[in-house]
Amino acid sequence: MKRARTIAAIVLGALIGAALPVITVAYFSWLRQQEVEQNNLESAAERTLLRAHRAYEGGLQTLRTLNQTPLSPCSPEHLQLMRNLAVSTRTAEQVGYFERGRLRCTSWGLTDSDIPEPIPDHTTADGAALTFGVRPQAGDGSPMLAVQLGKHDLLIDPGRFVDVIADPNVRLAVATPDGRLVAQQALPDQELLSRLLRKPATGHTAHNWYATAQDHEWLAIAVSPRTGFIDSVGRLPWALLPLAVVGALLGALGALWLSRRRQSLRNELATAVRRRELSMQYQPIIELDTGVCVGAESLVRWCRADGTQVKPDLFIPVAEQTGLIDALTDHVIDLVINDMRDLLVRDRSAHIAINLSAGDVGSGRALKVLSAKLQGTGIHPQQIWLEATERGFIDIEGARSSLAAARRAGHCVAIDDFGVGYSSLQYLQTLPLDALKIDKSFIEAIGTHSATSPVTSHIIDMAKTLGLFTVAEGVETSAQLAYLQARQVEFGQGWLFSRPLSSSEFITYHEKRLKQYGKAKENMQNPNSAM
Ligand code: C2E
Ligand code: CA
Ligand code: CA
């Protein structure tokens, strides 16, 4: 089981280690690629605009030359000139001459058919009339753009407007500025095309990049498909493979190191529990309006053989996950009772709070151990408070019945780290609780402008609504104390009053504090006796 878990951790570590560098490189190269694609597209649109311009201007020049010729219309010399210009003008497929609204001759010769002058779709700034989709009799019959100036016209293959060298994924189109399409290379998204014809813009949709360029005569559009992030991972060069392998190795080694460390921590902790090497510290809990020390929270400490201290935040989770927590809790209960028995018997108003782990709360096992240990000690169950975090409420039914049992036995039950979890008011109402410990993160926020700051007040209100008394954790400053007193929070604990103390230090602290503040308390409760 342990072995399977270690292997699973190593595989997971290797996968994460391999994926992380690849995904990071992919992400940045994708971002870069996006930028490059957009720039390419903008330049393609600019070049298309130039191309359209040249194609049109070339044709126009030819038409001007023809209109100025003194040659007799459709004479052999005129036909020859038309032929020569049709061949020498790169964009021209055919040149024609109209008279009284009818085509009289073309660069191919005289026409005998009765072809009328085309009805223009658009007139350019130069006064040329454009007609789209004209199908000449000669040629392969594909639609042409007719440009007519004066009595001559010129047929241009619209493809000439968009034959620009660009990335094969880029699709181009040219239109007149009022949105009439002149030529297009089968744009992938016709809806996008109609949108751009109406309103030229540069940007992207979910699937395509687009860019437009415009002058007074033409509008050029360039569209290319967007590469998704996933695709860009797929397109990464094989050169990244070594990086992935190194990442995988590091990930696997990291996971192995962690699980070894965890294992050795677990083994060491098991030895410490067995050899009873853990000890307890006690952090005083102060009644805020009188200053009297009403008890303490017990905090477990692990001092390793080499003298280093391990923080409970680190080893409690290890104990919970490796099945050591029951033995640890038993050990804690033992230590607390041994350390505090005399004090608790001497001062019946004092209490000690014990932290329960999530498992202890769900199973109710710790309560049985505690009850058995209290037998014959003279300590009243009311003097032992139990602190449970919201993590212990995952098995809500188990938690409800064991907390109820604890209260029946006479203990006071507090919810610890309150506000850190997700408990709703409604949910808390269903749990048998006496007190609420406001997590120190909320106390820290008092008087600051952090986002947490207004929450503190709500939490205090919530406790009052639930009819619970409150203990503020981590009180460090007198400003925090003043706020808590003003909000009538009953108890507080923190460095302002005292750091966690050894058992003997706490006993001394408690007595000293009782002498110092106990009198004041008596006077407060009994105002006449002070006189
Ligand atoms: P917790 O129950 O919230 O305990 C309060 C923690 O806040 C303690 O840390 C305490 O030393 C620290 N603290 C007290 N006053 C101040 C202050 O003014 N400022 C700041 N910054 N910190 C303050 P510690 O002793 O390291 O305990 C950490 C956690 O370990 C505890 O949090 C509790 O969840 C767990 N733990 C401690 N002892 C036990 C135990 O015996 N059993 C179980 N199951 N868990 C324990
Ligand atoms: Ca606690
Ligand atoms: Ca806390």
Q: Is the CB of 471 under 6 A from ligand 1?
A: no
Mean pLDDT, to the nearest integer, of 113-117?
Answer: 85
What is residue 390's predicted lDDT score, i.e. its pLDDT?
82
Which residue in 373, 243, 262 sits closest to 310, CA to CA?
262
Chain length of the chain: 531
Q: Which of 318, 473, 478, 498 to mutate to test the pocket of ligand 1 (most atoms within 8 A of CB)?
A: 473
CA angle, 73 then 78 then 84, to 5°: 145
476 lines ligand 1 (CB under 6 A): yes
pLDDT at 524 over 60: no
Token couple for 345: 């018997």
Distance CA 332, CA 424 (A): 31
For the stretch 204-239, pLDDT in tens is 888 889 999 999 889 999 998 887 666 666 666 777
Structure tokens belonging to residue 1: 């089981």
Cα 386 to ligand 2 centre (Å): 9
Mean pLDDT, range 43-70, rounded to an integer: 93
Q: Any idea what DSSP says for residue 518?
A: I
Q: Is 93 in the pocket of ligand 1 (CB under 6 A)?
A: no
Q: How confident is the model at residue 525 (pLDDT cuts 50, 70, 90)?
A: low
pLDDT band for 494, please (50, 70, 90 cuts): very high
Question: How far is residue 500 from each of residues 82, 302, 507, measured CA to CA in Å?
Answer: 105, 14, 12
Which one of 280, 299, 484 would you pick to mutate in the ligand 1 pocket, going by the greatest count of ligand atoms within 8 A of its CB?
A: 299
Query: How many other C-beta atoms can be found within 10 angstroms of the C-beta atom of residue 239?
Result: 8
Region 142-155: what's the mean pLDDT? 92
Q: Of ligand 1's atoms, which has the minimum distance to the CA of residue 417?
A: 3
Question: What is the pLDDT confidence band of residue 169, given thresholds at 50, 70 and 90?
Answer: confident
Interval 254-269 mean pLDDT = 84
E-only strand ranges, 190-336: 203-204, 208-214, 219-225, 278-287, 293-303, 309-310
Query: Please, which pLDDT band fits residue 531 given cuts at 50, 70 and 90?
Result: very low
List, for residues 436-489, the tens digit of each pLDDT value: 999 999 999 998 877 767 888 988 998 888 899 999 999 999 999 999 999 999
Written as six digits, the tokens of 287 are 């009644």
Q: Which of 198-207, 417-426, 477-486 has the highest mean pLDDT?
A: 477-486
Q: Which atom of ligand 1 is nearest to the CA of 329?
A: 42
How far is 254 from 141, CA to CA, in rounded Å? Answer: 71
Give me ligand 1 centre to Cα 299, in Å.
6
Q: Is 312 in the pocket of ligand 1 (CB under 6 A)?
A: yes
Judge if the beta carbon of residue 326 lies within 6 A of ligand 1: no
SS3 readout for 219-260: EEEEEEECCCHHHHHHCCCHHHHHHHHHHHHHHHHHHHHHHH
Helix, coil or strand: residue 13: helix
- In angstroms, the CA 393 to CA 430 distance is 11
Signed CA dihedral, 436, 441, 447, 449: sign only? negative
Beta-carbon contacts of 439 under 8 Å, excluding residues fewer than 6 positions away, are 417, 418, 419, 420, 473, 474
pLDDT of residue 76: 95
Q: Where is 458: in which H helix or E strand?
A: helix 453-466
Share of residues in the chain with pLDDT > 90 (%): 50
Q: Are 212 and 221 in contact (CB under 8 A)?
A: yes
* pTM across the whole model: 0.61
> In Å, how far are 12, 248, 279, 408 from 4, measured between CA atoms?
12, 19, 34, 43
At residue 45, the pLDDT reads 94
Please check whether residue 165 is in contact with residue 43, taking contact to mean a CB–CB distance below 8 angstroms: no
> Could you give phi then psi for residue 104, rounded to 5 degrees?
-100, -45
What end-to-end distance do the CA atoms of the chain give, in Å?
A: 72
How far apart CA 443 and CA 480 sit, in angstroms, is 7
Q: Report which listed range, 178-192, 232-246, 340-354, 510-524, is most confident.
A: 340-354
Distance 326 CA to ligand 1 centre (A): 19
Q: Are strands 203-204 and 122-123 parallel, antiparallel or unpaired?
A: unpaired
**Please, are residues 413 and 435 in contact by the beta-carbon 8 Å criterion?**
yes
Residue type, 383: Q
